Structure 1
Amino acid sequence: MKIAHREISPTQPPLVVAEIGINHGGSLEVAKGMVLAAAKAGCEMVKHQTHFVDDEMTDEAKAIFPPNADKSIWHVMEECALGKDDEIELKRYAESLGMIYISTPFSRAAADFLAEIGVAAFKIGSGECNHVPLIRHIASFGKPVIMSTGMQTIDSLRPSVEALDQAGIEYALLECTNLYPSPPEIVSLQGIGELRRAFPKAVIGFSDHSIGPEMAIASVALGACILERHFTDTRYRKGPDIPCSMDPAELRFLIDRSREVHTALMNPKVRTAPEEDVYRFARGSIVADRDLPAGHVVTEQDIWARRPGSGEISVQHFDRLVGARLTRSVRRNQQLRWSDLDGVAPLVNT
């Protein structure tokens, strides 16, 4: 898939998404500071959350308290939501720094607003990933979609993925665990492979709510092409998502290490050119393990392999030498040559 100018696929380095979300606490200036910190850390994409509370929730939400907050979900979002003008300015600022700006709409009105201001793609959170009417509405704008899949099974995801397929858009599915933070006992790295096998049209990624970068980095080796983590300019801020957020140093670490893992993931199992010098001394060459006379028939006890590997006959040919007759006498630890052996055809070392 492609979002703005960025191609996303197994052949490309993982796209690391810094989710500012609601960590700014409703302050545009704080949000812009977080965007700047992410940009300085080398991040390509920031993700916001667009909350129009009146269209997103009913009054019942005022009595629902999330596990990671000390106030109702209504009041959390009401306090942390940016106004329309502020979000437009945040998008402008992120793009002025060369970053890609996307956001998660939590309502139909929020989706309409993001379409109006021209986001490059939409993010669908785990809480909405089975909200097929909203998914159809978002997909109708024709933009790429990144969808987290926390709290869902493969079977429960099928109607939502079918809606994306029917819209004919490019999309990514992110393995996700929705506990903030998520301990390793409930994080599913196996889910990355399960999503890839079940939905072969999708780009697969990992939305990480654990503490530390280890799970996200490990996901790259399993095929994750997108890594999303909450982000804050400093962990000394207060907020429900701060405990599972990375700071700029950790963001830089995640970007660098994930690219290194991806680079290694592209390499087949071969001996590389830089290893040749090591190979010449590290492997063994066949030598006589004792003084042997000319005409002697070689047994296993007569030969051994010792470094360096500069000899004519590599240890890989050890068994072929048994039963050959020596054409000349050799001393202990003398490297053998094919011409020393009668009855065995020379082979090239590999």
Structure 2
Amino acid sequence: MFKNFHSDRCYVIAEIGGNFTTLEQARRLIDEAAGCGVDAVKLQTYRAQTLSSRVAMFDMENTGVTSQFDLFNKYAIDEKLHHEVFLYAQDKGLDWFSSPSHQSDVDLLERCGVGAHKIGSDDAVNLPFLRYVARTGKPILLSTGMCTLEEVRRSVDAILGEGNDRLILLHAITSYPTHPQHVNLRAMQTLMETFPQLDVGYSDHTVSPVASLCAVAMGARVVERHFTYDKAADGPDHMLSADPAEMKWLVDAIRAFEVMRGNGIKRPADSEKTTRRNNRKSLVLTQAVRAGDRLTAESVAIKRPGYGIQPRFYEQVLGRTAGRDLDTDAVLDWSDLA
């Protein structure tokens, strides 16, 4: 399923679930996402009747105070639309999967032939559900918003206990939107240290792409951002979604960073070969000397270029004698010394 997942680069997911209710809207989102260079699109799979009681309320910045049941009922999509959206994403060369919220949602996605499952933070500690998903044998991306580290341990153990080790952990903050002081990207690194056998990434609910880019620089293997064609469109997630310009900037910045990151070996870059020779310094004569003259601090200085005797040998050269006649500004070589 993860045909676009490569070991040497970050996997970028455009979360379009909740930002469409028609195939036309979904196609527009997928077209825009593909044009931005993302690796995958993700949906949300739920039915209000199996997700929320009628007394559950939202009280978040992006929703205000409103009925969860009514909001989920408004934005739920049926199985036919799932199939159509997934096929369209596949035709565009994107990976595709969804976040189920109930066992029946998992079954629907399995009928669609989904190759992975994303677990939202609301189900991060729902151990019976995690075990059910794990038994599909498919890769699982687990968001860990609202979790303590011990809760994450229990969830990881539940999934691994079903024999499924195809698990990716995503640091997340379940605030919509998430403000900078709450992002806490170092917690993502705590997950990396605690679960070194697992890939770790970041699910971003901030209002700009900066946090996702920072997460990649701090080692995220996966980043997920909500995606929209219009931040002002109807729906609670559009305001915290990246628009095409932001997503394109993010993907381009991530790919540029991955080139800049290099291999970690501290050595001169290929591009430095000429400047290393020309711009470093060597031992250079400040006056002409004749064969047999003793070299002194008055006759030897440290100057550019860098292809002569290195400055670290300055004290060793002082007191030596010239092996031949040398002009002012001669760049000293060991063969010049007696």
TM beyond 0.5: yes
Query: Is this contact kept in 2: 1:55–1:108, CA < 8 A?
Result: no
Residue 157 (structure 1) shift: 0.5
Q: Provide Cα deviations, 1:303-336, integer angstroms capped at 9, x if missing partner.
A: 3322222x43233443442443334565553321
| Cα distance between partner residues in 1 of 2:297 and 2:154 | 66
Q: Which residue of the other structure, out of 31, 34, 41, is the alignment partner of 1:39?
A: 34
1:1-350 to 2 correspondence within 5 Å?
3-9=1-7, 12-24=8-20, 26-61=21-56, 63-70=57-64, 71-169=66-164, 170-267=166-263, 268-290=265-287, 295=292, 297-298=294-295, 302-309=299-306, 311-328=307-324, 330=326, 332-342=328-338
List alignment gaps of at least 5 residues for structure 2: none
SS at match of 2:83: helix
List alignment gaps of at least 5 residues for structure 1: 343-350
| Cα distance between partner residues in 2 of 1:212 and 1:224 | 17
| Cα distance between partner residues in 1 of 2:315 and 2:118 | 61
| Cα distance between partner residues in 2 of 1:153 and 1:303 | 65
Deviates more, 1:333-342 or 1:119-128: 333-342
Amino acid corresponding to residue 16 of structure 1 in structure 2 = V
Q: Provide Cα deviations, 1:120-177, integer angstroms capped at 9, x if missing partner.
A: 1000111211111111111111100011112222222001001221223211011112
Query: Is this contact kept in 2: 1:19–1:46, CA < 8 A?
Result: yes
Query: Is this contact kept in 1: 2:42–2:96, CA < 8 A?
Result: yes
Q: Provide Cα deviations, 1:72-114, integer angstroms capped at 9, x if missing partner.
A: 2222211111122212211122112221111001222212211
Query: Is this contact kept in 1: 2:54–2:68, CA < 8 A?
Result: no
Residue 49 (structure 1) shift: 0.6
> 1:348 is matched with which residue?
none
Q: Provide Cα deviations, 1:210-267, integer angstroms capped at 9, x if missing partner.
A: 2322221222222211111010012231322222211122222222221221233242
Query: Is this contact kept in 2: 1:172–1:202, CA < 8 A?
Result: yes
SS at match of 1:147: strand
Query: Is this contact kept in 2: 1:65–1:73, CA < 8 A?
Result: no
Amino acid corresponding to residue 136 of structure 2 in structure 1 = F
| Cα distance between partner residues in 2 of 1:283 and 1:80 | 64
> 1:346 is matched with which residue?
none
Q: Assess, with a 3 A threshold, how the Cα gap between structure 1 residues 199 and 294 changes in structure 2: closer, same or farther.
A: same
Query: Is this contact kept in 1: 2:60–2:176, CA < 8 A?
Result: no
Amino acid corresponding to residue 233 of structure 1 in structure 2 = Y
Provide the aligned length of Structure 1 versus Structure 2: 335
SS at match of 1:204: strand
Query: Is this contact kept in 1: 2:231–2:243, CA < 8 A?
Result: yes
| Cα distance between partner residues in 1 of 2:153 and 2:191 | 11
User: Stretches of 4+ moved more than 6 A in 1?
Assistant: none
Amino acid corresponding to residue 101 of structure 2 in structure 1 = F
| Cα distance between partner residues in 1 of 2:298 and 2:202 | 56
Q: Assess, with a 3 A threshold, how the Cα gap between structure 1 residues 76 and 119 changes in structure 2: closer, same or farther.
A: same
